């Protein structure tokens, strides 16, 4: 075997070993590029680099194979396309305010022998328009079905739509996607349906569009829902604890959508009308016990009627019994002191009377001790002590 054949075998063997080990060196004259994704209206930068230009210049071409730049020389009169950097090893250009028409495959070439090229795919994202909500016109009634549709066009690729009610996610039907007339962007629509109740009156239903072009933000539209529902009513007294002789107003507070505007008052068990009624207020200018009873308020709207009851119990307005009187504590204290003093006086007087009675009984006994008969005892008890003394002197 000749040395040439041997060297050839050794060279081929070296290439095989290098290839199997991944050490086969890259062509230094081969240009390199990278794919770019840009949002419509933004700036896209295309960079082409080569290790060994071999005394040749780099060139950028658009998807239509029109030369944009050859080295530092502009070849196309599109002022949006600018030269960013030009060296023997690099050619970088930019396209300002990119549009969907700028999307495609761009080519970087170096005119060596043979000519070497590299491709860069530019993807332009179509920004979706702000979504619009359709289907809601008039206020809904409690129990009706709300049927809404959200539409957003101009997205590329097709956007995604999400629904929320007062910030909470709502399940929706699968989105529908249609291609726009330009053949590049899409229109997305989503429908939602749910039964409304009293709690849905005034809620915000929001449609949000998600898309890569929005760069960590979103676009959304909200629709406020109005729901008609049956009214409710309650009666509030002013003042809260009425007393006989005071003025009293009973306010019938009606709530609902729409708000009740028709009110009627009745006294339970009474057939006569209440002339003091003024719409939702019943007035008592001077309360008396005959006003006690149960009063009924009827509040009505186009959605129905609500009934409220209030039991009025008129109490005596005497200052001694009026709850919350500022003199109540003082009067109670004075009465307690007077009662205490009377008790002490009764105890002292009783003690004195008991002692006086004991003395009387003692004197009465002394008058009868030495009496020979009853008549003498009576005389001695009435003060006949002097006679006793004379008798004693007579015996002596």
Three-point CA angle 256, 260, 266, nearest 5°:
120
The domain boundary, picked from 125, 151, 182, lies at 125
Model pLDDT, residue 374: 53
The residue from 295, 312, 329 where one domain ends is 312
More confident residue, 56 or 367: 56
Residues 270 and 215 grouped into a single domain: no
At residue 2 the predicted structure's pLDDT band, cuts being 50, 70 and 90, is: very low
Residue 115 bridge partners (DSSP): none
CA–CA distance, 340 with 338 (Å, rounded to integer): 5
Residue 335 resides in a domain: no
Write down the residue that tokens 């030269």 correspond to: 83
In a domain, 217, yes or no: yes
What is the model's pLDDT at position 369? Answer: 53
Tell whether 42 and 115 lie within a shared domain.
Answer: yes
Q: What's the pLDDT score for residue 371?
A: 53
SS (H, E, C) the chain: CCHHHHHHHHHHHHHHHHHHHCCCCCCCCCCECCCEEEECCCCEEEEEECCCCCCCCEEEECCCCCEEEECCEECCCCCCEEEEEEECCEEEEEECCCCHHHCEEEEEEECCCCCEEEEEEEEEEECCCCCEEECCCCCEECCCEEEEEEEEEEEECCCEEEEEECCEEECCCCCEEEECCCCCCEEEEEEEEEECCHHHCCCEEEEEEECHHHCCCCEEEEEECCEEEEEEEEEEEECCCCECCCCEEEEEEEEEECCCCEEEEEECCCCCCCCCEECCEEEECCCCHHHCEEEEEEEEECCEEEEEEEEECCECCCCCCCCCCCCHHHHHHHHHHHHHHHHHHHHHHHHHHHHHHHHHHHHHHHHHHCCCCHHHHHHHHCCCHHHHHHHHHHHC
Q: Do 154 and 193 sit in the same domain of this protein?
A: yes
Identify the domain containing residue 192 by its residue range: 132-225
Mean pLDDT of 25-53: 93
Q: End-to-end CA distance of the chain: give it in Å, rounded.
A: 199
pLDDT, average across residues 259-267 = 93
Q: Flag whether 305 is in a domain.
A: yes
Q: Which two tokens stand for residue 23?
A: 């050490």
Region 87-106: what's the mean pLDDT? 96
Is pLDDT above 80 for 278? yes
Q: Which of 5-14, 280-289, 374-383 has the highest mean pLDDT?
A: 280-289
The single residue listed with the structure tokens 């039991």 is: 311
* 84 and 121 co-located in one domain: yes
Q: Is residue 220 part of a domain?
A: yes
Between strands 176-179 and 186-195, the pairing is: antiparallel
Average per-residue pLDDT in the chain?
A: 83
Same domain for 110 and 97: yes
Q: Are strands 116-125 and 36-39 parallel, antiparallel or unpaired?
A: parallel
Do 150 and 188 fall within a single domain? yes
Last residue of a domain, one of 205, 225, 245: 225
**Does residue 20 form part of some domain?**
no
Indicate if the pLDDT at residue 17 is higher than 50. no
Most confident range (mean pLDDT) of 72-81, 212-221, 268-277, 309-318 is: 72-81
Name the band, by pLDDT with cuts 50, 70 and 90, for residue 340.
confident
Q: What is the pLDDT of residue 395?
A: 39
Mean of pLDDT values over 95-113 = 95
Q: What is the mean pLDDT of residues 201-220?
A: 91
Residues 242 and 278 reside in one and the same domain: yes
Contact (CB, 8 A) for 300 and 306: yes
Q: Which residues, in sequence order, are bridge partners of residue 69? A: 60, 74
pLDDT at 380: 56
Assign residue 151 the CATH number of its domain.
2.60.40.10
- Say if residue 377 is in the same domain as residue 295: no
pLDDT above 50: residue 390:
no
Inform me whether the pLDDT recorded for 354 exceeds 90. Answer: no
Q: What is the pLDDT of residues 281-293, one digit of tens each?
A: 999 988 888 889 9
Confidence tier at 329 by pLDDT (50, 70, 90): low
Q: Is position 273 within any domain?
A: yes
Q: Confirm whether 165 is domain-assigned.
A: yes
CB 268 within 8 A of CB 246: no
Query: At 127, is the pLDDT very low, low, confident or very high (cuts 50, 70, 90)?
Result: very high
Task: Enter the tokens of residue 377.
Answer: 């005892």
Confidence check: pLDDT of 391 > 50:
no
Name the residue among 196, 185, 178 with its Cα closest to residue 155. Answer: 185
Q: Are residues 32 and 120 in the same domain?
A: yes
Residue 327 domain-assigned? no
pLDDT in tens, 357-367: 555 445 544 55
Within a 10 A sphere around the Cβ of 385, how many other Cβ atoms?
12
Query: Which of the two residues, 98 and 17, has the higher pLDDT score?
Result: 98
What is the pTM for the complete model shown?
0.63
49-59 average pLDDT score: 93
pLDDT in tens, 129-169: 999 999 998 899 999 999 999 999 999 999 999 999 998 99
Q: What per-residue confidence (pLDDT) applies to 335?
A: 82
Q: Are residues 206 and 249 in the same domain?
A: no
Q: What percent of the chain has pLDDT over 70?
A: 80
Residues 262 and 210 in one domain: no
Using the predicted structure, report yes or no on whether residue 11 has a pLDDT greater than 80. Answer: no
Q: Is the peptide bond before 218 cis (omega within 30 degrees of 0)?
A: no
**Same domain, yes or no, for 191 and 246?**
no
Residue 69 reports pLDDT greater than 70: yes
Q: Specify the pLDDT at position 6.
A: 32
Overall number of domains in the chain? 4
């Amino acid at each position: 075997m000749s040395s040439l054949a041997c060297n050839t075998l050794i060279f081929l063997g070296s290439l095989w070993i290098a290839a199997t080990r991944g050490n086969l060196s890259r062509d230094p004259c081969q240009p390199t590029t990278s794919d770019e994704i840009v949002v419509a209206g933004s700036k896209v930068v295309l960079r082409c680099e080569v290790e060994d230009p071999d005394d040749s210049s780099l060139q950028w071409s658009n998807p239509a194979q029109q030369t944009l730049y050859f080295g530092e020389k502009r070849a196309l009169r599109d002022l949006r396309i600018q030269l960013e950097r030009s060296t023997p090893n690099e050619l970088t250009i930019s396209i300002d305010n990119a549009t969907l028409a700028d999307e495609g495959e761009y080519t970087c070439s170096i005119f060596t022998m043979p000519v070497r090229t590299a491709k860069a795919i530019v993807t332009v994202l179509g920004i979706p328009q702000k979504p619009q909500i359709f289907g809601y016109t008039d206020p809904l009634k409690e129990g009706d079905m709300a049927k809404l549709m959200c539409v957003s066009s101009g997205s590329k690729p097709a956007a995604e739509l999400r629904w929320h009610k007062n910030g909470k996610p709502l399940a929706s039907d699968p989105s529908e996607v249609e291609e726009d007339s330009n053949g590049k962007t899409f229109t997305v629509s989503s429908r939602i349906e749910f039964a409304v109740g009293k709690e849905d009156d005034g809620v915000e239903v929001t449609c949000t569009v998600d898309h890569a072009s929005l760069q960590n933000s979103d676009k959304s539209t909200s629709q406020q829902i109005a729901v008609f529902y049956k009214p409710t009513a309650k009666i509030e007294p002013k003042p809260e604890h009425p007393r006989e002789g005071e003025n009293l107003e009973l306010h019938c507070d009606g709530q609902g959508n729409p708000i009740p505007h028709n009110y009627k008052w009745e006294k339970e068990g009474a057939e006569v009308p209440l002339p003091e009624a003024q719409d939702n207020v019943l007035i008592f200018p001077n309360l008396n016990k005959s006003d006690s009873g149960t009063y009924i308020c009827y509040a009505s709207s186009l959605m129905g009627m609500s009934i409220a009851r209030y039991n009025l119990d008129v109490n005596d307005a005497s200052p001694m019994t009026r709850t919350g009187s500022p003199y109540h504590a003082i009067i109670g204290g004075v009465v307690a002191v007077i009662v205490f003093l009377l008790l002490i006086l009764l105890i002292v007087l009783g003690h004195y009377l008991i002692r006086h009675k004991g003395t009387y009984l003692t004197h009465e006994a002394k008058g009868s001790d030495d009496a020979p008969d009853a008549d003498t005892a009576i005389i001695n008890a009435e003060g006949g002590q002097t006679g006793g003394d004379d008798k004693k002197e007579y015996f002596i």
